[in-house]
Amino acid sequence: MKKYTKLILVIGIFITIVLGIIYCVVYNKNINEVNNDKMTYSKIIKYVLDYNIRDFSDEEKDEIKRKVNKTINKCKDKKILSECYYILGFLNSLEKNNKEAIRLYNKAIDNINSIKNIKIKTQVYYELSRMYLYENEYEKSSESFEKLKEIAFKYNKKEEAVKYGVKRGYDIYCIPDGSNESVQILTEALELAKEINYEEIEEVYFNLGRTYWSDDKFIESIDAKLEALNIVDFKNLKEKIAIISTDLGIDYLYSGNYEEALVYLSRVLSYNLEDEYEDAKIKSYSLMNICEAYIKLEEFDKAKDSFKELEEEILKQKNGVYKEDCITYTYGNKADLQTQLGNVNEAIKLLDTSKKRYEKCDEFSFYDFDVKLLEEYGDAYYELGNYSLALKYHKEAEDIVKTRGLTYLEEDYNKIYLDYKGLGDYENTIKYLEKNNELKSNLFNDKDKEYSQYIYNQFENKKNLEKISELEQIGKRDKIFLPY
């Protein structure tokens, strides 16, 4: 009997070993289905996690898709299947196949518990939330993001909640009524970042500043961005210093504080980043706004000099969409300069060139450039005395500004009332002049209230901190005299 028992035990062990070998062979075969000379399966996962797969060629992406699909057809391992659907979902999202990406991410989620890597889980839910946003399914988008946070807290990966909180805040501030929610998400992310000493806390401050700006909280916006700038200054992170300084400069530019805008925008030019292409890209963006600031200040010679610097920096950029968009934007800025100098026909030629280039773009690197073009056309025709065409373009700009909820209606109203005045339509001149004055008054009052509220909040925070400190000291004192 003992002989049979031993024999059965040996056979059992032998079968277990054989099955283990077969599993490893099949597993490795499934993994190797997505191998090529450049990458392995594990590397593909890492490329997706780091978002580097976006830089692959179309041919490389198609090859990955073909091999991953082949693996799906042959494989029954839940972990591998979940990871494969995750890879395909991401590739489809890059191609803007949002519905297909949603389907694939949900397939990945079916077996997501088999994946031990928490970063994959959180990224799947974040990307799914983003795809739902693009399809205007806001409730499902919020549910996916909440699931992400739940996983991050469950496995004590709070840095994932902060990282994707920053991304989520950026994603939703452009959707209808999204700016308030964006501020809320980023405020929560900031509190969590402070709690865990998040390594890149400057990113949270910076993006919170951006969402404050979108929510018309200009003082809080600049305050948050200055906090971010102080942190990167201390860390000596030159690229981030350049990006945040540029953003602050643009804020001051659109607030009408052109001198202060130039302080921050010009600071960027003093840095030389290690990546010469990134250096040229950031400096180009800064110089585009420097040119605009000098035009607003009517310092036209300095504007001309800045355009020369700008052209040199654009030439240094890598060939690609961003470089072409910089050229398109610069034509528009140069048109503005020529209008101010009285060379209106030259300005219109430049605008026509800029418009033709812009209309060929699927996506443009700079927000609301269509509004800028319309305003520049209106300004040029106003200078020519063609008030009807000037009014047409300025009214079109006004319509877009209202639809998008942009913050520079004051300038449009100002231009429109002048167009009507030029046409001799004094009824509408008065109407738009009253609108302009009312808007100026409201903006002044809003800024005044905002500043008062900001000061009050700062005062209340200080009082609360003093109260906490006082109570803590009482607690310590009482503890000393507590009987044992």
CATH number of this structure's domain 39-156, picked from the four choices 3.40.50.300, 1.25.40.10, 3.30.1330.30, 1.10.287.610: 1.25.40.10
Looking at residue 33, the DSSP 8-state letter turns out to be T
Contacts of 353 (CB under 8 A, 6+ apart): 331
Closest CA to 452 of 255, 221, 257, 220: 220
**For 186-201, how does the pLDDT look when each residue is reduced to its tens digit (9 = 90+)?**
999 999 999 999 999 9
Looking at residue 311, the DSSP 8-state letter turns out to be H
Contacts of 470 (CB under 8 A, 6+ apart): none
| Domain ranges (residues) in the chain | 39-156, 446-483
Looking at residue 362, its pLDDT comes to: 81
Looking at residue 285, the DSSP 8-state letter turns out to be H
Q: How far apart are the first and last CA of the chain?
A: 70
Instruction: Give 89: exposed, middle or buried? Use CB within 10 Å, 0-12, 13-18, 19+.
Output: buried
Closest CA to 86 of 124, 34, 32: 124
Please tell me the distance from the alpha carbon of residue 64 to that of residue 470, in angstroms, as a whole number.
Answer: 62
**For 70-83, how does the pLDDT look when each residue is reduced to its tens digit (9 = 90+)?**
888 888 889 999 99
Please tell me the distance from the alpha carbon of residue 179 to that of residue 217, in angstroms, as a whole number.
Answer: 10
Looking at residue 225, its pLDDT comes to: 95
Backbone angles phi, psi at 449, to 5 degrees: -65, -40
Instruction: Give 19: exposed, middle or buried? Use CB within 10 Å, 0-12, 13-18, 19+.
Output: exposed
Q: Is the pLDDT of residue 477 over 50?
A: no
Contact 97, 127 (CB under 8 A): no
**For 21-70, how does the pLDDT look when each residue is reduced to its tens digit (9 = 90+)?**
554 444 444 444 444 444 577 888 888 888 888 888 899 999 999 989 98
157 pLDDT band, cuts 50/70/90, is very high
Single-letter residue type at 36 = N
Please tell me the distance from the alpha carbon of residue 137 to that of residue 90, in angstroms, as a whole number.
Answer: 18
